[in-house]
Each structure stands twice: as C-alpha cells, then as structure tokens.
Structure 1
Amino acid sequence: MLDSQNRGQATEIDLRNLRETMKIAQESRAAGNHPFGALLAGPDGAVLLASGNTFKDDKGVGHAEMNVARDAAKAYSPEFLAECTLVTSVEPCCMCAGGTYWAGIGRLVYGMTEKRLAELTGDNPENLTMDMPCEHIFDAGQRKVEVVGPVPALEGEIAKAHEGFW
C-alpha cells in the first residue's frame, strides 16, 4: 500500500488550471449538465485534454474526470501519463479516483472537497455523494498518485458554480 497522503502544494500552473476547470464547470452547467470540470495537464502544465460533466448523455457515469481519464488512456502512453496531472474542480468520487488510477495519471489536483460538495448537494438523487476521500482509493493501489487539494483560496468560487443547481 502506498501513501498518497504526502501532499504537495498547488503551483501557479495548478491554480491557473484549476481556474480553467471552473470555467469548464460553468460551461457544463450552462449546457444542462452538472457543474463539474476537469482537464489533463502535461508535465509542463499545458492543457492536453478537457471535459465537463456529460450527465445529459451519460447519466451517472458521465463525470468530467472519467471523461478525461478515458480519453487520456486512449491518447497517451502509461509512461507519459505518469508525469501528467488531472486537475478537477471538485475532489474525485471513488469512480473517478479509480479511473484516474487505472489510466495511470500520476498526479491529481482538486479545488473543493467531496465532503463540501455533499453539503451543497444534500440528498439530490442525481449526485448521491459518497463519504470516500480519493486518497482511500489511491492508498489501496500499488501505483503512487500524488494528491494536491483542496485549495482553500478557490473553494468558495468553486462552490458558487453549485449554488441553486442542486
């Protein structure tokens, strides 16, 4: 078992990319989907792939992180993905953490915790949030995934994308 609890700090590039996921989340919401956004950043921080939530088409499995992880696994080698970062507005659920792990993405940056999301969504049947920090999924694996998050400076802004939605 590996320890993903050894968290790094968000860099300026991470913060820029988190702000981009917030824009993607707003676009997702405007398109009638859930307000989540994710992107894959290369080793240099450049955005390689991005996706919003696709609930309208994919229902409960159309999470932004899964969309990015699936596309990343198709497009890039495991060696390259190990050097990449999945950046997401909200902490990945257990499904998305698993997808990140199985895609081989080596680093995760998220803005707001899933616990905070649960406070916003309540018992909405379209987002029955689990109390399962993503580190629990990563710690059960054999491959290390560095986790950076939450980012308190952006949590309030991220939460605004969910206001009045749930």
Structure 2
Amino acid sequence: MDTSTALSPQDLAHLRRCVELAREALADGDEPFGSVLVDAAGAVLHEDRNRTAGGDQTRHPELALAQWAAAHVPAELRPTCTVYTSGEHCPMCAAGHAWVGLGRIVYAGSIGQLTEWRQGWGLPPSPVAALPITTVAPGVPVAGPATELADKLRDLHRQHAERQAAS
C-alpha cells in the first residue's frame, strides 16, 4: 500500500531515526533494519535495530518492539501507539504487532521495494512470503513508503548484499 503522501513531518523525523538505527545495525554486522515505538503524544517509548548476525533470524526490531510493548505498555494504550520502521514488517512481525494490539505502522521502505532490490542484485528470495502488512494484519492502519528515504535505504541494503556476497 503506497500512502506516502499521508506522512507528516513528525512521521518523517521518526523514520529518519529508523534509518539511523538501520545504519547502526549494518555497522554491527546485522541486516539494516531499525524501528521506533512512539506513544500517542509523540514520545519515543523504545527503539531497537536488527540483531540477526548471531544466527537468530527472528531478532527483528519490529517483533522486539511488540514484545517490549506487551511487557511495558498497558493493553488499553497500545492501540494509540505507532511503530515506525525502516522496512515494512515481514509476516512474523506484522502478526506480532497485531497480536499485541499496537496501532499504526509507518514504514520507510516497502516489502515490494526490498524484494525488487534483492532480485536486482541477484540475491535469493526470502524464505518467507513477501506479504504486505495488510494481508497478514488487515486491521492495522499503515502508511508508507517514504519515497524521500528510498535511496538511503537501497544503499544500506546494497552494502549488506555486497558484504554477504564477499563472505
């Protein structure tokens, strides 16, 4: 779903932080993904980045934020929270988000963009179907991608692809 025109300056500021976290993840040997959990007033509650370099491919920041919210945010406040993320949630993360009852998701790069980039670099497809969030969690409002961040994201993912090819 392309709803990039619906992104506010606040949305873009949080998405830029997600891209910074993705850059940190890449620098630490992980896949470049980062996410931020924000409450209804706009305060950052928690943030995380991908931590898959150790071999556990489930250590996505979107799932980590859902788990953190389940432990630290009252259930009645979760629907008012927004998850900002550098990349559209995979099916695992979208399901976690929905099960915990979090609200809106705003992503910088779509799963379609990432799939296209990876194919262009000759990488194998993901072992998980590239389903949009709304297919996995149809009740969750989403916005994205942020076209103004596409070049930065593509560059981070290209660097990761080149690193993988060299190893």
SS in 2 for 1:77: coil
Tell me, yes or no, if structure 1 residue 64 matches structure 2 residue 61: yes
Compute the RMSD of aligned alpha carbons: 2.1
2:144 match: 149
Q: Is the contact made by 1:21 and 1:88 (CA closer than 8 Å) also made in structure 2?
A: yes
The 5 A counterparts of 1:6-155 are 9-57=6-54, 59-122=56-119, 124=123, 127-128=126-127, 130-139=129-138, 144-155=139-150
Partners of 2:11 and 2:51 in 1: CA distance: 24
TM-score by length of 1: 0.86
Give the match's secondary structure for 2:6: coil
Contact between 1:14 and 1:45, CA under 8 Å: does it hold in 2?
no
Residues 115 and 125 in structure 2, CA contact (< 8 A), matched pair in contact too = no
Structure 1: stretches of 5+ with no match in the other structure: none
TM-score (norm 2): 0.86
Structure 2 unaligned blocks of 5 or more: 162-167
Contact 2:7-2:146 within 8 A present in 1 as well: yes
Q: Distance in 1 between matches of 2:36 and 2:124?
A: 26
Large movers: runs of 4+ above 3 Å: 5-8, 122-129
Across the two proteins, how many residue pairs are aligned to each other? Answer: 158
DSSP 3-state at the match of 1:56:
coil
Of stretches 5-14 and 40-49 in structure 1, the one that deviates more from structure 2 is 5-14
How many angstroms does 1:121 deviate by?
A: 2.8
One-letter code aligned to 1:163: R
